[in-house]
Amino acid sequence: MSLLVVGTVAFDAIETPFGKTDKIIGGAATYASLAASYFTQNINMVSVVGDDFPAETIQQFNDHGIHTDGLQVKKGEKSFFWAGKYHNDMNTRDTLATELNVLMTFDPVIPQSYQDCTFLMLGNLMPAIQMQVIERLHNRPKLVVLDTMNFWMETAMDDLMKVIKMTDVLTINDAEARQLSGEYSLVKAAQKILKMGPKYLIIKKGEHGALLFNSEQVFFAPALPLEEVFDPTGAGDTFAGGFIGYLARTKDISFENMKRGIIFGSAMASFCVEKFGTERIMNLEQDEVDERVQEFVDLVQFDITLV
Ligand code: AMP
């Protein structure tokens, strides 16, 4: 039993109202696998970087129990680079640069030792590559979760539609749900998107929490009201990593357990935004995670007696 995480491992340059970074470590697979590492042991990463990527960071992944046999390091090539600038509300951002670099020729090789994959997290990446990973697994995993973003809707919509059809849970943000469905109402958007293939849809709404839909039910989890959101980069991937990490630990993919998974994912995302990049989720203590989850429970618990 293992969790396979696919996605970008990258350099990011981030600008928020609080400050600016030079190139720091980022990437969808980075955030998702680090978040999952607080819940489950057997995590395998598939991605690609250039030889500009620090060996110490790969060591930090290993220290978190993340196996990197499937992380290709390309000699003489540059890692994926993304730059973004957040608006004052911190919920919206402009992408300033997306340099695919090593991603352009990425051929995702799945090591034999990864073939026992039961949970698959297809983090943000070219949809064609996400699809290749599903096809290259000898057995279909018990649960396939897919994350994507507007960039791929604009540049690779046909491939994206194909891979969406092959997944169990799609996670996107509210703007992406509207873009994908052409519907403003998120309830209508969810109905349309569920018809595209996935059994479950999670719509992330930043500081306004997340919605989980299947064809009959809906669940809402708030985000923790934080005094300060420092840097939202990676919050979505961290959320997804916490969600699938929790499901992998409990081996239960029922709607009820997904509700709990969403709370664990939201708790991890709330840490991610407290500092720039991966700084916070790289160095968490288990106690902090437990306390944060308890804060969520307290936040939404109430008694009502209907008269
Ligand atoms: P999030 O804030 O959850 O959307 O994730 C931000 C992370 O996604 C950053 O660390 C980027 O390196 C990575 N990223 C940005 N654009 C893309 C893209 N088009 N494909 C894959 N990963 C991306």
User: What is the predicted pLDDT for the residue at 91?
Assistant: 79
Is the CB of 241 inside a 6 Å radius of any atom of ligand 1? Answer: no
**Predicted pLDDT at 227:** 86
* Ligand 1 mutation target, pool 8, 15, 101, 273, most atoms within 8 A of CB: 8
Which of the four pLDDT bands, split at 50, 70 and 90, describes residue 307?
confident
- Please give the pLDDT value at position 1: 84
- pLDDT band of residue 115 (cuts 50, 70, 90) is very high
**Residue range 56-107, pLDDT digits in tens:** 999 999 999 999 999 999 999 999 999 999 998 887 889 999 999 999 999 9
Q: What is the pLDDT of residue 90?
A: 83
Convert the pLDDT of each residue in 138-167 to its tens digit: 999 999 999 999 999 999 999 999 999 999
Reply yes or no on whether the pLDDT at 179 is more than 90: yes
Average pLDDT over residues 250-256: 97
84 in contact with ligand 1, CB cutoff 6 A: no
Does the CB atom of residue 236 touch ligand 1 within 6 A? Answer: yes
pLDDT of residue 18: 86
Report pLDDT for 282: 96
> Is residue 228 over pLDDT 90?
no
Which of 46, 233, 270, 272 is the pocket-test mutation for ligand 1 (most atoms within 8 Å of CB)? 233
Give yes or no for residue 264 having a pLDDT over 90. Answer: yes
Tell me the pLDDT band of 137, cut-offs 50, 70 and 90: very high
- Place 274 in a pLDDT band, splitting at 50, 70 and 90: very high
Beta 218-221 vs 80-86: how paired, if at all? unpaired
- Does the beta carbon of 234 lie inside 6 Å of ligand 1? yes
Q: What is the torsion angle, in degrees rounded to the nearest 10, for the CA atoms of residue 124, residue 159, residue 191 and residue 90?
A: 30
State the distance from the centre of ligand 1 to the C-alpha of 235, rounded, in angstroms.
Answer: 10
User: In sequence order, what DSSP letters do the residues of the chain get, joined into one string?
Assistant: -EEEEES--EEEEEEETTEE-SSEEE-HHHHHHHHHTTT-S-EEEEEEEETTS-HHHHHHHHHTTEEEEEEEEETT-PPEEEEEEE-TTSS-EEEEEEE-GGGGG------GGGTTEEEEEE-SS-HHHHHHHHHHSSS--SEEEEE--HHHHHH-HHHHHHHHHT-SEEEEEHHHHHHHHS-SSHHHHHHHHHTTS-SEEEEE-GGG-EEEE-SS-EEEEPPP--S-----TTHHHHHHHHHHHHHHHHT--SHHHHHHHHHHHHHHHHHHTTSSTTHHHHS--HHHHHHHHHHHHHHH-------
pLDDT, the chain, mean: 96
Confidence of residue 254 (pLDDT cuts 50, 70, 90): very high
The single-letter code of the amino acid at 8 is T
Would you say residue 40 has pLDDT above 90? yes
pLDDT at residue 8 greater than cutoff 90: yes
CATH assignment of 3-300? 3.40.1190.20
